Amino acid sequence: MTERKQLEVDVLVVGQGLAGTLLTHFLLQAGQSVHVIDDDYPRAATKVAAGIINPVTGRRYVKSWYIDRLLPTAEATYQQLEKQLGIIIYHPQKVLRALFNQREENDWLVRAYDPSYQAYIQTGEKIDIGDYSRYAIPALSYGEVRGGAQVDIGELIGRYRAYLRSTGMISTETFNFQELHIEQNAIDYRGIKAKTIAFCEGAKAKNNPYFSDLPYEGNKGEALIVKITKADFQKILKQGIFIVPLTNGQYWVGSTSNNYHTDDRPTEEGRNYLVGKLSELLTTNFEIIEHRAAIRPTIKDRRPLIGRHPEHPQLYIFNGLGTKGTSLGPYWADQLVKVLTEGHIPDPAADISRFRPRTGK
């Protein structure tokens, strides 16, 4: 590999998935100089995910963690990136939630009339399920979540990478830890000298020698991209699986969840599971366009990781966005940049010190 010319920046960012892209965006907004190292791995989780923002989740219909803070930052950030890059990636969509029995209906109504949920759960009106009434097996009833969205994060990552290339701010290569030299107040990596290095490596972080002790789990997910005959679904549907309308007449269908994977490749088992679920749900035909798989960067407590290495204050990590990265990413990237540039104290809810002591300067 040809040695690059000496380059001095404020922050070297390792990884240009959703976490690295958002962190870079906020760093540049804060006036920092940045260079990014990324290997453009084809099965990175960012390139496979649906980009769903869903404010009310789970079997108990609870608000997503920190959602009241996350949503305003997410919407503003993605719209700002749309304007900067000249693309449309943020698509507000309501989320239909299938309710299969009386208990689920009752539980949903309890949430709906809770004042803290009123911004997110529609009440007092008949739910319009659109073409799902014609081309899907109906559930007993449906709830509807407001404030949801689908973000085309694959398009975002690709266009932001093109922007970084055009400005000379990215190198496409695999990061080699043996070439990272930690100095007293800086780091040096193959001709790049930076005050700070921020690792945004996703599932690969478990191999990072400086942060490998953190409780990564790594959840493998598989999904399908399909065309559905006749249907024109306008809302996200959660009915056993997710059906997510995309912008090109196709739909993202998923996903599987596997904590005991051996690799990140699509499997026949995952494909058969999704095809079976979709066949049970739809009353019309569908065509599989693509079968995707990736390892999600999940953490034991399902919260992000931001923070500084306890012995090397030049080293930071931003990881663990997991299945809700589209909503989590903007807020926590902004928080980390404020830590780096304004001296903010990391929120203990996401600081890595919840798993190990935070020391150093």
Report DSSP letters for 130-166, one per residue: TTHHHHB---SEEEEESS-EEE-HHHHHHHHHHHHHH
Residue 222, helix vs strand vs coil: strand
Q: DSSP code of 282?
A: B
Position 359 scores a pLDDT of 44
Instruction: Report if pTM > 0.85.
Output: yes
Q: In 233-258, which positions are buried (b, 16+ CB within 10 angstroms) versus exposed (e)? A: bebbbbbebbbbbbeeebbbbbbbeb
Per-residue model confidence as pLDDT tens digits over 9-32: 999 999 999 999 999 999 999 999
Residue 20, helix vs strand vs coil: helix
Burial of 182 (0-12, 13-18, 19+ CB in 10 A): middle
- Asked whether residue 336 carries a pLDDT value surpassing 80, the answer given is yes
Complete domains list, the chain, with CATH: 7-47+154-216+301-354 (3.50.50.60)
> Where is average pLDDT lowest: 4-8, 150-154, 246-250, 327-331?
4-8
Rg (the chain; Cα; Å): 21
Per-residue model confidence as pLDDT tens digits over 21-69: 999 999 999 999 999 999 998 878 887 889 999 999 988 999 999 999 9
CB 94 within 8 A of CB 235: yes
Among 297, 250, 290, residue whose Cα is nearest residue 274? 290
Is the preceding peptide bond at 255 cis, omega within 30 degrees of 0? yes
Position 6 scores a pLDDT of 85
